Amino acid sequence: MRIEGKGIIDRTREVKFRFDGRDYSGFRGDTLASALLANGVRLMGRSFKYHRPRGVLSAGSEEPNALVEVLGKTIRTPNTRATMQEIFEGLDTRSQNRIGSLRHDLLAVNDLFSRFLSAGFYYKTFMWPRHFWEGLYEPLIRRAAGLGSLAQVHDEGVYEKAWAHCDLLVIGAGPAGLMAALVAARSGADVILAEEQPILGGRLIGDGGVIGAEPAALWLAGVEAELRAHPNVRIMTRTTVTGAYDNGTYGALERVGLHRSPRPSLPRECFWRIVAGRTVLASGAHERHIAFPMNDRPGIMLASAVRTYLNRFGVAPGKRVTLFAANDQARQTARDLMAAGVQVAAIIDPRQDVSVVEDCPVHSGAEVIDTKGRHALRAITVRKGAEVFDIETDCLAVSGGWNPALHLTCHMNSRPRWSDELAAFVPVADAVPGLEAVGAANGDFSTHAALLGGKAAAGAALLALGHKVAPVALPAAEDAPYTHRAIWAVAGEGRAWLDLANDVTLKDVQQSARENFASVEHMKRYTTQGMAPDQGKNSNVAALAVLADATGRGIAETGTTTFRPPYVPVSIAAMGAGGRGKGFAPERFMTSDQASRDRLAPMIEAGLWYRPAYFPKPGETTWREACDREVLMVRNAVGVCDVSTLGKIDVQGPDAGRFLDLVYANTISTLAPGKVRYGLMLREDGLVMDDGTAARLGQDHYLLTTTTAAAGQVMRHLDFVHQAFCADWKVRVISVTEGFAQFAVAGPKARALIDTMLDAPLGDLPFMGVVQTAIGGVQARLFRISFSGEEGYEIAVPVDYGEALFRDLLARAETMGGGPYGVEALNVLRIEKGFLTHAELDGRASADDLGLGAMVSTKKDCIGRAASRRPGLHGPAREQLVGLKAMAEISAGAHLFRPADAVERVNDQGHVTSVCWSPVLDLWLGLGFLQNGRARYGEKIRLVDHLRGIDVECEVTHPVFFDPDGGRMRG
Amino acid sequence: MRLTCPLCGPRDRREFTYLGAEDYLHRPAPDAPRDAPPDALSEAWDSYLHLRDNPAGPTRDLWYHEQGCAAWLLVSRNTITHEITGVELVANRKGGAA
Amino acid sequence: MAELIAKSPLEGQAPLTRAGLTLSMVAPRSIWSLALYPGADPGPALGLPGLRFPAPGESVTEGDVSLIWTGREQAFLLGMAPPAGLSAQVAVTDQSGAWAGLRLAGRGEEGAEAALSRLVPLDLRLRAFPLGRVARTALNHINAIVWRRDEAGFTLFVPRSMAFSAWHEIAVVLDRLAARESGRGRG
């Protein structure tokens, strides 16, 4: 119920929201949990295994019970903690993990079978009959398992990623964090203050108190105002630091739009990568539950959470509250409630000699041993010595002590240290280089200790960064000692929960120990304690204590599992932000792109580039029709193809020739200026990396081409060879792929076409030559090279002229019975000629396999020469490049067998790399690798592709099918 | 992970590509007369291509500042602590001509 | 004979203003790579009038002409063709069409930094990236040159074929920044 005059929510702004189909209203600043509690709704979920009714336990991100689905038009977000979901107008939410309604969950029957569902039950049950598993048990368990459900549609939400850099990262804006930020801000350092909640203050919001001479709320407002005024401070609220990584890098998840009505382009979340010079961890501490029997009912909450609901949200979670705690600090919850006019029925304190002077009954030396109330707490049973009695209550505030939130300190392979004094784990110093934990996160629980720790850590960090440290006065604050007694569990009849989120009880951990899963790592996996969305924040330490007890060890000896990022669940969409759809990779467009699309050419992806597959003419209904026509067009008239995507590398310097002789298998330095040579590049392991051409443009100037897909790899390789082996040579290498648009003009009429374009007559450009020329005054390079096997040229112009040149070439070609051709025809033409692409150069072929063994010069060293001499890369056992001819369709990827052999792997003779229908030869052609292939021309071979159902007899031939002498190319 | 390129300064690891161990810098001399028939790899070449230490502790490896200045870097780091103890330009090393 | 018309990348693309920032294309149209051979003297002997070869990360500007550092012993000359007296110790390559220029400016440096921090992992704070600083880095998988050319914002160069992708990436970032800011007052 709502309490007047309490809370810092904005009561002037009413917000309507929906839960399980019913409309409610709350106020701006409410979370779903606080608004539901204010409306008297206490049943918020069903537990994982037993489907027991559950209510909210906490007020923070560690919430294990109140997990709901947030519904949107296209997005459904399961497992959302009601304590972190701020309400906004129109928020629509639904409870999860139930069949039927939340109140009447059909799966609640599981609770009756709890005896059979204890730890590891799936290893011991559902075994018989065996065949029932697949048909019955598994689907049933699958249906019942899990918490929230997925929407089964793509998440079309907007997610962002971003980087941030700072001198000091302060994690947590409670008193310790605020103090650290203040020191750094006044010192002029760049500060990022990351706070998980939408508002600053941390414990000050729930606890109140006095700092300096003023109420904590005023002190907080003053500090916040000052921090916001400093231009060197970035305050990031709703931002959880999720992981500590190497070299001062932190991952952080910012909730950008989850608390607002959806709008276009508004990100839901942003995943930050923050690079910090130094970091102060002021993440506070988590209060512990106590494992007493039946401790999981709606209405049983952490004491500090009850206080937060009262002081921050103005909500009393019950009308008659009891407190069960073994520490002094928790009593403030009872006092705050009573001061607000809420009835406190009793304080139950397990400790014997403690003060019993409060404004309500205090039972010392007492424990809660049972609770009643199925859908909401009704009463508790208390044992005090020999006495056992019931107390009527609808809200039980529990405190089993405090655990420093030290998870980040363990993200780099460190484990925390057990403190007997605090009965808690505390961080180990320097576990994360550059990070210091302060305040409650470091086990220093008083407000004074937090302020002091924050100030000192910021000062030390600034000094380490070489910064001067501005003076900041330390305000006075409470410094009460942490008086407590560790209480993990209470013996009793019913089940006592440790891990509420995964429904793991005291008995499960004890059973685990009994079955000899005694190490904490085994206990965790066997019982699933600590493996739920709350990652054990509410149960790790208690479970460890129970395990220690059950195995007769101390807690320190039992150890702890480690913590790994992320500290809270992070949606995959946020981590992968920017990588979806077009963001996955850049798109690369040629200058002819628009003209190709204008002609309705389907564009295919070749690496990052878009290339036209073919240029359909009216009346053509299949790609083959267009492709066949284009092939014949090139062979009989002239074709134009944009080949700008091939890598082009400019190599200059007096040592250029020497350098190229090192990276190419064949000799390049003997090339005369104006000539072009086919080049083969090997990897150092002797296999072929790439093939291409090298053109000598001048005495000390070469231009290389590489295969489109290998351009980056070759560049990387050249840079390595240069820098690693010949950094002192006078040679410089730079990519010019982007700077030139280059078009192939091929066919019997190619020369005639080109002659109409050039400013000066073409003259006699020999095959494999290059010449500098001009088109309309624009400098151009003209190469006479051919990938089609026809008389072919390639014209390169500065890329800005590419589109104009392409359109002009097409117009002229069309007057000559020619036109554009795409990559399908390009591929057919080159297969007919036995020219290679990376279909053949797949990293497994040696020069000798390809029939190019003679290209590896014996007169010089080169990259790969030594390893290429290995006998294993030569000889009849190798699969060698061959051609294949067939009358029926064949496929790339098929394997080759002798016709008489069974089609089994042991009889595999080779495989097919490229195929095409040749309209020139009226045959199916293929290129492939066949064992000892060069000695088997004329042989019949069987080509089998199981995936496509192809089984065809082929003839093995020389790989050059058309014009083997190359007369058409050489003219 | 962040690497400090000697030319560009501290950078996110996404700008770099990893090649492998420092061993790649120590290319053996050609081991046989150039026109010699096919022969097995010498020990030096076999080691260069195929054998690597896998230390738990200090190691040196080669990174390429691909999305940056395209310099090849020799990085000294510790595989246990993840500390980066040094980054040098490969091109500035003495010798190494093939 | 033929007549060819030049077309720059993003030709005709109107500037985009959102979230107080303006994205527009720039066309220096003349970019030459100058790469020094080992032993080359980067001083006046280089033959560049009024300019010296920039140190790593540096840019040197004289009027309309700039030299921006782009790699080991390498710089891009913007705004003029290499002069006749250029030393033979320099490898010269025309990179003019190879790069698309973009400009992101407005609302002081902080504004453009906020946008670029979504795409570029670099430390772009003024004191880490002062006036005149140049860096080769990545703009979400796109190789990019980032240059704080003046107080108003950044000049970026990306490979020409990726100009549309780069424009689109930045435009999307601006949309999202604007969406964050709208309704901010209502907290």
CB A931 within 8 A of CB A909: yes
Show which subunits contact A, needing at least 3 CB pairs below 8 angstroms: B, C
Judge if A6 and A133 occupy the same domain: yes
Q: Which two tokens stand for residue A114?
A: 């709890």
Determine, for residues C2 and A776 on separate chains, whether the beta-carbon distance falls below 8 Å: yes
Which has the closest alpha carbon to A514: A562, A549, A541, A540? A549
Q: pLDDT tens, A919-964?
A: 999 999 999 999 999 999 999 999 999 999 999 999 999 999 999 9
Q: How far is A586 from chain C (nearest CA, A)?
A: 6
Q: Where are the alpha helices (DSSP H) in A417-571?
A: 447-464, 506-514, 520-527, 540-550, 555-558
Q: pLDDT tens, A936-948?
A: 999 999 999 999 9
Determine, for residues B8 and C57 on separate chains, whether the beta-carbon distance falls below 8 Å: yes
pLDDT above 70 (res C187): no
Reported as a pLDDT band with limits 50, 70 and 90, residue A109 is confident
Share of chain A above pLDDT 90, in %: 88
Residue B18 within a domain = yes
Which chain A residues touch C121 with a CB distance below 8 Å? 163, 273
Which long-range contacts (C-beta less than 8 Å, at least 24 apart) are formed by A22-26? Answer: A26/A87
Judge if A455 and A379 occupy the same domain: no
Say what the pLDDT of residue B96 is.
46
CB A318 within 8 A of CB A236: no
Residue A778 within a domain = no
Helix (H) or strand (E) holding A123: helix A121-124
Exposure of C41 by Cβ count < 10 A (0-12 exposed, 13-18 middle, 19+ buried)?
exposed
Residue B35 within a domain = no
Residue B98 within a domain = no
Picking from A163, A797, A799, the nearest residue to C160 by CB comes out as A799
Could you report the predicted ipTM of this complex, rounded to two decimals? 0.96
Judge if A431 and A445 occupy the same domain: yes
Q: pLDDT tens, A320-362?
A: 999 999 999 999 999 999 999 999 999 999 999 888 888 999 9
Residue B34 within a domain = no
Residue B39 within a domain = no
Determine, for residues B8 and C72 on separate chains, whether the beta-carbon distance falls below 8 Å: no
pLDDT above 80 (res A460): yes
Which has the closest alpha carbon to A252: A221, A229, A275, A227? A275
Indicate which of B4, B23, B49, B93 best probes the interface with A, i.e. most A CBs within 10 Å of its own CB.
B49
How many separate domains does chain A show? 6
Q: Which two tokens stand for residue C162?
A: 């990726």
pLDDT above 50 (res A511): yes
Full residue range of the structural domain in which residue A927 is found: 876-971
Is A175 in a helix, a strand, or coil? helix
Of A535, A558, A581, which closes a domain?
Answer: A558
Cα pseudo-dihedral A304, A306, A307, A312, rounded to 10: 120
- Work out the number of other CB atoms within 10 angstroms of the CB of residue B61: 18
Judge if A2 and A150 occupy the same domain: yes
pLDDT above 60 (res A839): yes
| Largest pairwise CA distance in chain C | 66
Show which subunits contact B, needing at least 3 CB pairs below 8 angstroms: A, C
Say what the pLDDT of residue A741 is.
98
pLDDT above 70 (res B34): no
Judge if A341 and A202 occupy the same domain: no
CATH number at residue A365: 3.50.50.60
Q: How far is C24 from chain A (nearest CA, A)?
A: 19
Judge if A248 and A301 occupy the same domain: no
Residue B52 within a domain = yes
Share of chain C above pLDDT 70, in %: 95
Determine, for residues C138 and B69 on separate chains, whether the beta-carbon distance falls below 8 Å: no
Average pLDDT over residues A838-858: 95
Say what the pLDDT of residue B67 is.
97
Exposure of A420 by Cβ count < 10 A (0-12 exposed, 13-18 middle, 19+ buried)?
exposed
Residue A812 within a domain = no
CATH number at residue A534: 1.10.10
A861 in contact with B, Cβ within 8 Å:
yes
Reported as a pLDDT band with limits 50, 70 and 90, residue B95 is low
Mean pLDDT estimate for chain A: 95
Among A271-285, A716-730, A747-761, C38-52, the minimum mean pLDDT is found in C38-52
Q: How far is C184 from chain B (nearest CA, A)?
A: 31
A726 in contact with B, Cβ within 8 Å:
yes
Q: pLDDT tens, A392-416?
A: 999 999 999 999 999 999 999 899 9
Judge if A381 and A410 occupy the same domain: no
Exposure of A339 by Cβ count < 10 A (0-12 exposed, 13-18 middle, 19+ buried)?
exposed
Exposure of A39 by Cβ count < 10 A (0-12 exposed, 13-18 middle, 19+ buried)?
middle
Q: pLDDT tens, A12-32?
A: 999 999 999 999 999 999 999
Judge if A183 and A208 occupy the same domain: yes
Full residue range of the structural domain in which residue B65 is found: 2-26+46-92
Going by the DSSP 8-state scheme, the letter that residue A50 receives in this structure is T
Which chain A residues touch C116 with a CB distance below 8 Å? none
CATH number at residue A889: 2.40.30.110
Q: pLDDT tens, A875-905?
A: 999 999 999 999 999 999 999 999 999 999 9
pLDDT above 50 (res A203): yes
Judge if A163 and A253 occupy the same domain: yes
Residue B10 within a domain = yes
B84 in contact with C, Cβ within 8 Å:
no
Reported as a pLDDT band with limits 50, 70 and 90, residue A570 is very high
Determine, for residues A720 and B19 on separate chains, whether the beta-carbon distance falls below 8 Å: yes
Determine, for residues C179 and A267 on separate chains, whether the beta-carbon distance falls below 8 Å: yes
Judge if A259 and A408 occupy the same domain: yes
Secondary structure, 3-state, C127-168 = CCCCCCCEEEEEECCEEEEEEEEECCEEEEEEEHHHHHHHHH
pLDDT above 80 (res A597): yes
Residue A964 within a domain = yes
**Measured CA distances, C16 to A253, A909, A947, C160 (Å):** 29, 60, 50, 19
Exposure of A135 by Cβ count < 10 A (0-12 exposed, 13-18 middle, 19+ buried)?
exposed
Residue A916 within a domain = yes
pLDDT above 50 (res B97): no
Q: pLDDT tens, A767-820?
A: 999 999 999 999 999 999 999 999 999 999 999 999 999 999 999 999 999 999
Say what the pLDDT of residue C183 is.
65
> Cα-flanking dihedrals φ and ψ of residue A11, to 5°?
-70, -5
B91 in contact with C, Cβ within 8 Å:
yes
Q: How far is B90 from chain A (nearest CA, A)?
A: 6
Say what the pLDDT of residue C186 is.
42
Share of chain A above pLDDT 70, in %: 100
pTM: 0.94
CATH number at residue B80: 3.30.2270.10
How many separate domains does chain B show? 1
CB A426 within 8 A of CB A406: yes
Average pLDDT over residues A581-593: 93
Which chain A residues touch C141 with a CB distance below 8 Å? 585-586
Q: How far is B96 from chain C (nearest CA, A)?
A: 15
Residue B38 within a domain = no
Q: How far is B35 from chain A (nearest CA, A)?
A: 5
Judge if A420 and A280 occupy the same domain: yes
Q: Which residue of C has its CA nearest to B11?
A: C122
Judge if A207 and A225 occupy the same domain: yes
CA A813-A816-A819 angle, to 5 degrees, is 35
Indicate which of C37, C119, C122 best probes the interface with B, i.e. most B CBs within 10 Å of its own CB.
C122
Reported as a pLDDT band with limits 50, 70 and 90, residue C51 is confident
pLDDT above 80 (res A231): yes
Which chain C residues touch B8 with a CB distance below 8 Å? 56-57, 135-137
Say what the pLDDT of residue C185 is.
45
Of A101-105, A125-129, A681-685, the range with the highest mean pLDDT is: A681-685
